[in-house]
């Protein structure tokens, strides 16, 4: 089953496995530019299809605007055009989101990942206008970001139907875990914009419904198996795709999806030899018993993949 990739002229269209990168910090808790370069290069060498910088996994809430802009510049320099770099534009207000989107456009990002506003609880029309104003004031491709657990707002089909008609809206990152809702959204907008998984463990189920990729966090522990799983899906090798999903991806994902995200992920990255420093407070590192369970999951997943390849 081959995915149909919608086209909006020559604009960037997100698909495949796109890594939502953590933001590395040094031992003093400051932005680690060399760490950004190292992680971007590692992901690209692992075959990843794109990188998101300074989004939720990238601790945007723990970065000031100058740090967000610096991180984007460094990621763009490191990628050097080899893969698309997508800037996280997660902001509570439209004015702030427009400012960040304009900077990303000027800097040369391929797209922006824009969340629905959080905390202030705008109306349905306010949510629509949030995206519409960004589209009006920029020309950069926009990936909608629906994350109800974090924003307390769920983009319904009626809003998505309107948003999908905006020329610069080119995709949706979907964190809704109810596959019934996801199926309806793909049915309504999937012929205009691709819908990508926002949680790694629902990538395969979403693909079967018409999903076209994953904006992934667990790929930071091992990009190659994710790419192999995606290639298996695209070539209808369901057995291999399901094997990787159940025996590699799923146990790793659930070992890091804990409180204080992305602090557990950063610890796991240290355990696999790709450290990114600690998360900033108030996020706390996982306790020893959790680290032990994470190491066990990593060892089991790595052992299974080595024996199955």
Which sequence positions are flagged as catalytic? Answer: 145, 173
Other CB atoms within 10 A of residue 279 CB: 23
CA distance 41 to 57: 18
Which three-class secondary structure string do you get for the chain?
Answer: CCCCCCCCCCCCCCCEEEEECCCCECCCCCECHHHHHHHHHHHHHCCCCEEEECCCCCCHHHCCHHHHHHHHHHHHHHHCCCCCEEEEECCCCHHHHHHHHHHHHHHCCCEEEEECCCCCCCCHHHHHHHHHHHHHHCCCCEEEEECHHHHCCCCCHHHHHHHCCCCCEEEEEECCCCHHHHHHHHHHHCCCCCEEECCHHHHHHHHHHCCCEEEECHHHCCHHHHHHHHHHHHCCCHHHHHHHHHHHHHHHHHHHCCCCCCHHHHHHHHHCCCCCCCCCCCCCCCCHHHHHHHHHHHHHHHHHHHHHC
Instruction: Give residue for tokens 């990238």.
Output: 58
- What are 178's two structure tokens? 């109810």
Query: Whole-angstrom Cα distance, residue 168 to residue 135?
Result: 6
Contacts of 235 (CB under 8 A, 6+ apart): none
């Amino acid at each position: 089953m081959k995915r149909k990739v919608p086209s909006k002229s020559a604009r960037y269209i997100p698909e495949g496995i796109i890594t939502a990168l953590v933001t590395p910090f040094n031992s003093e808790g400051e932005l680690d530019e060399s760490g950004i370069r190292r992680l971007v290069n590692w992901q690209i060498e692992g075959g990843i299809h794109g990188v998101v910088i300074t989004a939720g996994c990238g601790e945007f809430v723990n970065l000031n605007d100058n740090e967000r802009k610096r991180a984007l510049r460094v990621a763009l320099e490191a990628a050097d055009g080899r893969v698309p770099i997508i800037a996280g534009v997660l902001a509570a207000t439209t004015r702030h989101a427009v400012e960040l989107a304009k900077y990303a456009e000027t800097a040369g990002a391929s797209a922006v990942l824009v969340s629905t506003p959080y905390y202030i609880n705008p109306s349905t029309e306010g949510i629509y206008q949030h995206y519409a104003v960004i589209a009006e004031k920029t020309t950069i491709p926009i990936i909608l970001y629906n994350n109800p657990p974090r924003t307390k707002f769920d983009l319904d089909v009626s809003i998505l139907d309107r948003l999908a008609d905006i020329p610069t809206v080119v995709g949706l990152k979907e964190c809704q875990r109810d596959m019934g809702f996801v199926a309806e959204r793909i049915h309504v907008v999937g012929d205009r914009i691709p819908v990508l998984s926002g949680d790694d463990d629902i990538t395969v189920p979403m693909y079967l419904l018409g999903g076209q990729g994953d904006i992934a966090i667990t790929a930071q522990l091992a990009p190659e198996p994710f790419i192999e799983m995606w290639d298996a899906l695209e070539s209808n090798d369901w057995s291999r795709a399901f094997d990787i999903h159940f025996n590699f991806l799923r146990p790793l994902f659930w070992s890091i999806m804990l409180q204080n995200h992305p602090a557990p992920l950063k610890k796991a990255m240290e355990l696999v030899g790709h450290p990114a420093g600690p998360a900033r407070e108030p996020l706390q590192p996982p306790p020893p018993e959790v680290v032990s369970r994470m190491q066990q999951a990593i060892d089991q997943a790595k052992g299974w993949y080595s024996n199955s390849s």
